[in-house]
Amino acid sequence: MLTLLFLGDVVGEPGRSAVVARLPELKRDWSLDFIIVNGENAAAGRGITPKITIDLLRAGVSVITTGDHIWDRKEIVPFIETEPRLLRPLNYPSGAPGGGTIVLETAKGKVGVINVQARTFMQPILENPFPLLDAAVNELRRETPIIIIDAHGETTSEKIAIGRYLGGRRSAVHETHTHVQTADEQIFEHGTAFICDAGMCGPIHSILGRAIEPVVTRFLSSLPAAFPIAKGETRLRGVVVEIDETSGRALRIARVDEPAPSGAHAPA
């Protein structure tokens, strides 16, 4: 059995500090074989940098997925070509830097990861993810039955449709982007573990990891405002999935909601 941890959107310095601090302990205590983290908000809440990528990988992350903020830091464009474990959504047009899939070897066999972005209410509007997922899954299944998908999207209907798509040809579909952990974790009849949103790793006394007052003011005034990262208690949210390494079928999925160690949530 392969045990996988998937953590939702890492938000700013508090989120990434908590992940770096807790991962070695969680990996040991839960006997984790593979760790995926969505890192597209890890740099001050928007984008990711080469240094943050390296810090997360050194902490034990196997693959970093992203989404609509992948290009917010200009230095990531040349870097992503040199680090295949940092994924961008698969459905960018041909010629975009980086890649949307990877297969990595573990002690319990190969694991394939696919990063895709949904389209409804998302910017930029990318290629239709469904046929691209078909092709990517078929290609990865030549190497491994264990395939994990991070679908980064806004609407629950599109996320569930992606989760239901492809029948039993993937082990798990974990959705990201809204930063709010949903309570619909389940294993579909074909053996696919699913959750509509894994949640976030960041300050919980916040609005999606941002300071509360500026966001509320923006809703009241409709005027532009800066949204600094919130301070205070930080938690790590996501899911743990147990997968049969021979068949690729998920056996168990459980939500994760773990505190940051004391001192890990430094000011933004």
pLDDT digits (tens, 9 = 90+) for 193-228: 999 999 999 999 999 999 999 999 999 999 988 999
Domain boundaries, the chain: 2-257
Coil vs helix vs strand at 62: coil
pLDDT of residue 268: 35
pLDDT of residue 264: 53
In eight-state DSSP terms, residue 230 is: P
* φ/ψ of residue 220, rounded to 5: -75, -40
Closest by CA to 246, choosing from 171, 194, 172, 187, is 171
Structure tokens that stand for 265 in this block: 């949530």
Coil vs helix vs strand at 72: coil
Structure tokens that stand for 178 in this block: 């809204």
Just list the catalytic residues: 69
Q: 2-257 is classed in which CATH architecture?
A: 4-Layer Sandwich (3.60)
In eight-state DSSP terms, residue 91 is: T
Predicted model pTM: 0.95
Q: Give dist(CA 84, CA 4) in Å, integer.
A: 19
Question: What is the β-pairing status of strands 34-38 and 9-10?
Answer: unpaired
Total residue count of the chain as it appears in this document:
268
Low-confidence ranges of the chain (pLDDT < 50): 265-268
